[in-house]
Structure 1
Amino acid sequence: MQSFSLQEVKVTGGAFKNAQDVDLRYILSLNPDKLLAPYLIDAGLPLKAERYGNWESSGLDGHIGGHYLSALAMMYASTGNTELQKRLNYMVGQLAQCQAKNGNGYVGGIPQGKVFWERIHKGDIDGSSFGLNNTWVPLYNIHKLFAGLRDAYEYADNQQAKQVLIGLGDWFIELIRPLSDAQIQQILRTEHGGMNEAFADLYLLTKDKKYLETAQKISHRLILNPLLEKQDKLTGLHANTQIPKVIGFEKIAMLTGNADWSEAARFFWQNVSQTRTVAFGGNSVREHFNPTNDFSSMLKSNQGPETCNSFNMLRLSKALFLDKNDLSYLDFYERTLYNHILSSQHPQKGGFVYFTPIRPNHYRVYSQPETSMWCCVGSGLENHTKYGELIYSHTANDLFVNLFIPSTLDWKEKNIQLIQTTEFPYKNQSELVLKLAKSQNFSINIRYPKWAENVEILVNGKPHPTNAKPSDYVAIQKKWKSGDKVSVRFTTSTHLEYLPDNSNWAAFVHGPIVLAAKTSTADLVGLFADDSRMGHETKGKLYPIDKAYTLIGNPDTYTSKVKPTANLKFSLDSLTLQPFYEIHDARYQMYFQTFTQADFEAQKIKQRQQEAGALAMEAKTVDKVNCGEQQPEVDHLYKGEKSDSGYDDDGHFWRNTRSYISYQLQNKDLAGKSLEIHFSGNLKTDDVGILINDQPAKIITVKDKFIIIKADDKETVNVKISSENGKPTPRFHQIRIVKE
């Protein structure tokens, strides 16, 4: 199975075309010179504009520039817009100048990059999940440039990008040449994107085996080995750190014929998509994989599935589909495309979503071009450029229709053109019309989706037998002539889909479309993000979960309450259900708790008590950081040496140290009166030093695994915890500034 190039497929209407157009405006609103500034700073070249703020000037400098190359290249391929090509060529040219100035093949925007990489080259390595020598995910950062240069060449035929990419690859090989395999694996503990895939791509471009050997060498064995043994070791891991590695495993497997690595990638996909994914296609809570048997943390959190995860799960699904020709990958791809990717961009004003909470009556935050430089802005720029990548696919002679999206296909190699006209999902039909220079004999294969209750195929108005089953293709083999028309009809229904943990929470799904209800437009604090470090998180209050709409009765009565009122709109008592991707600028409810009448009152009382305690704690909290949890630590400027982190079986993240760890918290308006440090293990106060703003902490008490410290009289609170004897400290779980 092969995909078509983006140049051969054009999206022509509907929600996806609108999303593409909105993304195009966002792309053109960004300033290439600002995105290039970190690279020019590192190379010692004069700036043409000051760099952007936010994540682009607080440690992840340059990462959006790499994503921007990819977005420019793919959007140019999809639309033919010449301004995109002009910008792409300009940026690649500027990067080439930076590379020439550096003189060793390196080009990057990482702060103090030359000093950092020299330490790595010498084997001076101290890393954790996101900090390598106290630098924020440097390999993840530079991977965006590797991918952007690859895309500039692959999608836009920029030859200079290929040369810059090869130079960068050769520099990296020289960088790690003195390091042992153990040292390389130590580096790979820190998030590094899909660096193994990047070198597999270099091999594809050059056929030089040194790149393929490097791709294998920089594949993270701590993740790969359990997958080879079909062991699930994912709970507690930072989710998006792992998915790009697995994309690399699959690509290397394809290039080497290593069936074991490909099976490892398939096992990972199966695990994540079937046991860790919610109805709209997303996974993770606060960026980490939650236990497969307990989604309660995701239901409670304002930090639901991260868009970057779905961006990468779609890339993995596409790779596995093309490798294995299994339509279950397309079923997942379609569900995630409509419900997470499409919903992750504001359809009128533009702006990308980082977290999509499933907490009832909560909402999402949208980025802004001048203020927001998050990872999900980078992947967001790319998400809406490539909707044409899997609408169709082909083998040597035959055509496959995979998705029902209004579009045109120009299969240049075969002189076959196809026009697909559809209003799906609002109408359950699609029309396919062929334009041929001369009659040809080939097969058109129409996907029979998993969600379709039946499929009817008409060829030039006459019924065609459909013996296929769901998640299969209906093959139509004939000699086709220009003007031939294939009509596809199917029926859909609404059903409840429960969370994978078998709890009593479920979402309404109609065909492949997840339905949700707008519940309120109140308290949408920070709806369009400012430039604050944590601007991607909602700031509005959490509404009590026990106040959310609940389904009460028997399982066979839940869906009978749903009454159609218009195309893909349904009434549910006082609520209106509609496609989740249509809901913006509002709080919403996607998941509904289900009860029998007998269980309802008892369970609600228990839940109300739990909610009251949790919300009371949040109300008295001024700021907090969860130790060992990636994004909260980054948000609070974590630094440390000789530190380990992990995830306990009881569901707590932790971090300890044989040297020191530090965080910066904010005590806004000096509202906090004390700090609470939660730990586990044995604590001897003489063995642990605690400084608050460089002064010894005034410990009030140590009780029930909490250290209570008097708050400082400054709004910025720097907390430093050190080992006084060089031995590991207890495990620290959370630091919280509280009002009482």
Structure 2
Amino acid sequence: MKIKYLFVFLIWSASVTAQMQAFSLKEVRLEEGIFKNAQDVDLKYILALEPDKLLAPYLIDAGLPLKAERYGNWESSGLDGHIGGHYLSALAMMYASTGNVEVKKRLDYMVSELARCQTQNANGYVGGIPQGKVFWDRIHKGDIDGSGFGLNNTWVPFYNIHKLYAGLRDAYEYAHNEQAKEVLIKLGDWLIELLKPLSDAQVQQILRTEHGGINESFADIFIITKEPKYLDMAQRLSHRAILEPLINRQDKLTGLHANTQIPKVIGFEKIGLLSSKQDWSAAAQYFWQNVSQTRSVAFGGNSVREHFNPVNDFSKMLRSNQGPETCNSYNMLRLSKALFLDKNDVSYLDFYERTLYNHILSSQHPQKGGFVYFTPIRPNHYRVYSQPETSMWCCVGSGIENHAKYNELIYSYSANDIFVNLFIPSKLDWKAKGIQLIQHTAFPYENQTELILNLNQARSFALNIRYPEWAEQFQIFINGKKYSFEAKPKKYVSINKKWKPGDKIIVRFKTSPRLEKLPDGSDWVAFLNGPIVLAAKTSAKDMTGLFADGSRMGHETKGSLYPIDKAFPLINDTGNFISQLKPLGNLRFGLDSLLLQPFFEIHEARYQMYFPRFTQESYDAQQMKLKQKEKEFLAIEARTIDKVNCGEQQSEVDHNFKGEKSNAGYDDENFWRSTRGYFSYQLQNKNLVAKYLEIDFIDDFDVENIKILINGKPVEIIKKEKKLVVINNADTELIEVKVEVNNNKASPRFVQYRLMQE
């Protein structure tokens, strides 16, 4: 077995040296521009976080004295320690990208404290999960009860610890911290031993709960150590319920929690490459194609209320204030990069570039800092920004990483050749080859880029320049002379010659505005110019919670939903809507009373990114229907004090879900939760104005089999309909609603709880 894996590893090592390779972060530096500004703002945010507060959950679990109290928010409500793992990654990437000494000092300190905790635990374990030793002991004994996000009533523990695995890997990979390598390997050995008594079926039962990319982590340890046991573990920790449909090219994604799946698939791709499992790599390609082409909107994001919506119906995304989640795009870019380097297919770069400019870049406030969780496409809505002392969401963790690594794929190489993938001002220093390449550009505000070669001597190599699919009249000039080529869009223009020090290459092109429909084909369209999504500021009013407080659901907007029927419409009987745009320069266009501009520029404002498209006749008819539908929807929302969408991961976490023998799923276009034991939520009765609770469910409701308790007391059902139960409400600020069933019988599938005022 060991010989086989070593042989596979040697083949893999040999093959990747001939494949496309990414330059290290320290070999590429950003120059002044929008991405360098984003990196600088991120650095300030990173330095505003306090390492001892992030380390506190680990010290608590190891029984060591605290140096500072832990952060609040998600870091003290069940996901304790997860930001610490992300922080390691962000520090490592930022140090590699900038050489900042303070960042390196913090990284080394974090790793040394984690090593101290690991030594104290004496078994290789280190973690910040609440009551971690008790939790892991139950798992070791085969005591497993879990579903989407709760495992033994602990909030995504494997997802949590995966952040630490990834952070330690990055500390070693990007910052060459040898102690991080030692802690990582010991932590890997601990988990192997912990899960050794469990059957494969029990491990798959664990993997029903969100677990991040824990399979990738063990593939990474295999790359570092070359020991087969880690690749075996990577495969054991791969979720077969997701992998097998993808191998068979079956789309089973609708209704699944989106960001739960993407990290798994990154692991499938890496394991497929390491073990020569071509079907695993093909599964990752199929997943990427499905999500990027049929489930992603114009700015590259995907999901509504964190879940994959049906590919033929984006109406819920249009209505929701919980649009695509930034973590999803963070992971889709990681998958795109992995597949690009593996397959050398420029299509992955097209998606990568669009998502980088329009989602990732836009997800951080460019002056004040702060990261965005949801980016709704609902017209006239807005986004919420995190703050260092109050906000510890998952999208803060991935956010501090996002803006530290913009230099990761601007260039790549193969053998002696260089590939220019993105038009971002930067400097490449390939010391091993004596090549320095400087890129000057103001793209996307200017449709050209200039490349200057500083060489230690004249040398022959191919300079490959990406010809994007959106670029028109693509031209290349070498030292002022036009270069003729036959390459087509979505390919590289390869210039193979003997280059001299000081050679200058100028790339020029044209971009034009265009419309793009939603993936379901409905008549809602976005404006793009080149890879840039254009949107309009519509208002700066009623943006409650714009900068998040420390509340459990501070990442969600609290301001009013403006009626969709009031969205700015495009009305033209000829269908030529582009002709209505008035170019104003600097990527700005007039559209009647609106100003379209790059979406990444829009902050602290309500906005409109998607526009309904009509003829005059269809507009009159559709507006009547839409107005009535919106009136009904907004009337219900206005009476709602709090609500839980059963079976939706973040909604349930936000309402402190607990349960036993409980399952969740997606059927009949609804998420649901059922139980043979119990489940409960906590709802907020703000200002004590709620009068009753509505419970919506799918199946018949058997009063004799089910007991409903509010704050521990049985309640009287005062109204019962086929799919609706209304219950007298307790007059308290915090309301715990608990459903219990008798005799181990299955409950109906509950869909939604709404706490209502009259």
- TM-score of the alignment, normalized to the shorter chain, above 0.5: yes
Match 1:101 to one of 120, 132, 147:
120
Distance 1:563 1:323 in 2: 43
**Which residue pairs with 1:5 in the alignment?**
24
Q: Does structure 1 residue 283 correspond to structure 2 residue 302?
A: yes
Distance 2:446 2:732 in 1: 60
Letter in 1 for 2:499: W
Distance 2:277 2:482 in 1: 44
Match 1:353 to one of 362, 368, 372:
372
Distance 1:200 1:470 in 2: 35
Question: Per-residue deviation at 1:554?
Answer: 3.7
Identical aligned residues as a percent: 72
| 1:313-352 to 2 correspondences below 5 Å | 313-352=332-371
**Which residue pairs with 1:472 in the alignment?**
491
**Which residue pairs with 2:712 in the alignment?**
694
Letter in 1 for 2:460: N
- Paired residue secondary structure (2:144): coil
Distance 2:33 2:540 in 1: 26
Greater shift in the superposed pair: 451-460 or 164-173: 451-460
**Which residue pairs with 1:571 in the alignment?**
590
**Which residue pairs with 2:677 in the alignment?**
659
Distance 2:113 2:411 in 1: 36
| 1:478-517 to 2 correspondences below 5 Å | 478-517=497-536
Question: Per-residue deviation at 1:26?
Answer: 0.1
Distance 1:556 1:80 in 2: 53
Distance 2:116 2:632 in 1: 58
Pairwise CA RMSD: 0.6
Distance 1:28 1:148 in 2: 17
Question: Per-residue deviation at 1:548?
Answer: 0.8
Q: Deviations over 1:289-339 (max 9, x none)?
A: 000000000000000000000000000000000000000000000000000
Question: Per-residue deviation at 1:563?
Answer: 1.0
Distance 2:274 2:430 in 1: 26
Distance 1:38 1:242 in 2: 27
| 1:393-412 to 2 correspondences below 5 Å | 393-412=412-431
Letter in 2 for 1:564: P
Question: Per-residue deviation at 1:13?
Answer: 1.4
**Which residue pairs with 1:712 in the alignment?**
730
Question: Per-residue deviation at 1:443?
Answer: 0.5
Distance 2:702 2:223 in 1: 56
**Which residue pairs with 1:682 in the alignment?**
700
**Any conservation in 2 of the 1:621–1:736 contact (CA below 8 Å)?**
yes
- Paired residue secondary structure (2:576): helix
Question: Per-residue deviation at 1:437?
Answer: 0.8
Match 2:605 to one of 575, 586, 610:
586
Question: Per-residue deviation at 1:556?
Answer: 3.7
**Which residue pairs with 1:671 in the alignment?**
689
**Which residue pairs with 2:435 in the alignment?**
416
**Any conservation in 1 of the 2:385–2:548 contact (CA below 8 Å)?**
yes
| 1:78-477 to 2 correspondences below 5 Å | 78-477=97-496
Question: Per-residue deviation at 1:722?
Answer: 0.9
**Which residue pairs with 2:657 in the alignment?**
638
Letter in 2 for 1:665: L
Question: Per-residue deviation at 1:555?
Answer: 5.8
Greater shift in the superposed pair: 459-468 or 613-622: 459-468
Q: Does structure 1 residue 620 correspond to structure 2 residue 639?
A: yes
Letter in 1 for 2:688: L
Q: Does structure 1 residue 31 correspond to structure 2 residue 63?
A: no
Question: Per-residue deviation at 1:454?
Answer: 2.4
Letter in 2 for 1:586: A
Distance 1:410 1:519 in 2: 44
Question: Per-residue deviation at 1:704?
Answer: 2.9
- Paired residue secondary structure (1:686): coil
Distance 1:621 1:439 in 2: 71
Distance 1:146 1:565 in 2: 49
- Paired residue secondary structure (1:685): coil
Greater shift in the superposed pair: 698-707 or 266-275: 698-707
Question: Per-residue deviation at 1:701?
Answer: 1.4
- Paired residue secondary structure (2:147): coil
Question: Per-residue deviation at 1:713?
Answer: 1.2
Letter in 2 for 1:25: K
**Which residue pairs with 1:736 in the alignment?**
754
Distance 2:102 2:326 in 1: 27
- Paired residue secondary structure (1:378): helix
**Any conservation in 2 of the 1:675–1:735 contact (CA below 8 Å)?**
yes
- Paired residue secondary structure (2:679): strand
TM-score normalized with structure 2 length: 0.97
**Any conservation in 1 of the 2:700–2:722 contact (CA below 8 Å)?**
no
Distance 1:353 1:421 in 2: 30
**Any conservation in 2 of the 1:152–1:158 contact (CA below 8 Å)?**
yes
Ranges of 4+ aligned residues in structure 1 off by more than 3 Å? none
**Any conservation in 2 of the 1:69–1:88 contact (CA below 8 Å)?**
yes
Letter in 2 for 1:726: N
**Any conservation in 2 of the 1:455–1:466 contact (CA below 8 Å)?**
no
Q: Deviations over 1:98-128 (max 9, x none)?
A: 0000000000000000000000000000001
Q: Which runs of 5+ in 2 are unaligned?
A: 1-19
Distance 2:479 2:272 in 1: 43
Question: Per-residue deviation at 1:348?
Answer: 0.2
Q: Does structure 1 residue 726 correspond to structure 2 residue 726?
A: no
Question: Per-residue deviation at 1:651?
Answer: 1.4
Q: Deviations over 1:550-595 (max 9, x none)?
A: 0011464211101111210000000000000000000000000001
Distance 1:443 1:525 in 2: 54
Letter in 2 for 1:415: G
Q: Does structure 1 residue 542 correspond to structure 2 residue 561?
A: yes
Question: Per-residue deviation at 1:669?
Answer: 1.3
Q: Deviations over 1:159-190 (max 9, x none)?
A: 00000000000000001000000000000000
Distance 1:507 1:210 in 2: 49
Question: Per-residue deviation at 1:680?
Answer: 1.5
Letter in 2 for 1:569: R
Distance 1:138 1:519 in 2: 41
Distance 1:310 1:124 in 2: 34
Distance 2:460 2:278 in 1: 35
Q: Deviations over 1:126-169 (max 9, x none)?
A: 00100000000000000000000000000000000000000000
Distance 2:647 2:69 in 1: 33
Distance 2:247 2:406 in 1: 32
Letter in 2 for 1:516: A
Q: Deviations over 1:517-543 (max 9, x none)?
A: 000000010000000000000000000
Distance 2:695 2:594 in 1: 43
**Any conservation in 2 of the 1:568–1:579 contact (CA below 8 Å)?**
yes
Question: Per-residue deviation at 1:198?
Answer: 0.2
**Any conservation in 1 of the 2:23–2:411 contact (CA below 8 Å)?**
yes
Distance 2:64 2:425 in 1: 46
- Paired residue secondary structure (1:126): coil
Letter in 1 for 2:359: H
**Any conservation in 1 of the 2:219–2:234 contact (CA below 8 Å)?**
yes
Letter in 1 for 2:677: S
Distance 1:323 1:258 in 2: 13
